Amino acid sequence: MKRGSLVFYFLLVTVAATPVGAFPWDQDMVDQPSEKAQESIAPPGPGSVPVNGGETLPIPKNDEEAADMKAAAASLQNPVPANRESIDRGKYFYGINCLVCHGEDGRGDGPVGLKFIEKAPVDLHDTYTQEQADGQLFFTLTRGRAKMPFYRDALSPSERWDVINYVKSEFGEE
């Protein structure tokens, strides 16, 4: 074969093969199905179940639905026993998240609470709060209420239950 046609065939094969990545040395290690830096996480496989995080309560569309859902939340069981450790954790989280409005003693007279013009933050000693089921308080902390912010981002579910254990044991009658 003449030298010229060898070069011709080599070029022909190269041009034809390049778009389909046919050469073994075209396989770069970087081209693989694994996650690369800054790429989004692969969606969970079918049938996989989250073990923590995620939303635990449905989202109400209006005040009426919120009231219904709060009533229904009464059946939610508090999974965190109200022991010393939980109450201490609750006191800690209350100090960070609630004290500014509800006050150190839960009277609704925290430095920010005093600025409320329309409805002040409730006095947490009142039967209104104390007689609510833990699940209903959990609903309020998860979803917020009127001018009160929600805590589903700032507090994990178990931290919310800790705060509820603190509110019930510290500001309750017994």
Q: 33 or 79: whose CB is closer to ligand HEC?
A: 79
Whichever of 12 and 71 has its CB closer to ligand HEC, that residue is 71
CA distance 101 to 116: 9
Give CA separation, 99 vs 117, 131, 158, 159, in Å: 18, 21, 19, 15
User: Closest distance between ligand HEC and the C-beta of residue 167, in Å?
Assistant: 5
CB of 166 to ligand HEC, least distance (A): 8
Cβ(106)–Cβ(123) under 8 Å?
yes
**Taking the complex as a whole, how short is the minimal distance between the CB of residue 80 and ligand HEC, in angstroms?**
14
Provide CB contacts within 8 A for 11, sequence distance 6+. Answer: none
Contact 117, 139 (CB under 8 A): no
User: Using CB under 6 A as the criterion, what x/- string covers residues 143-162 for binding ligand HEC?
Assistant: --xxxxx-x-----------
Query: Out of 89, 103, 141, 171, which residue is the one contacting ligand HEC (CB under 6 A)?
Result: 141
Residue pair 102/124 in contact by the 8 Å Cβ criterion: yes
- Work out which of 89, 102, 143, 168 binds ligand HEC, going by CB under 6 A: 102
Give the position of tokens 């059946």: 75
Footprint of ligand HEC on this chain (CB under 6 A)?
97-98, 100-102, 112, 116, 119, 121-122, 129, 132, 137, 140-141, 145-149, 151, 163, 167
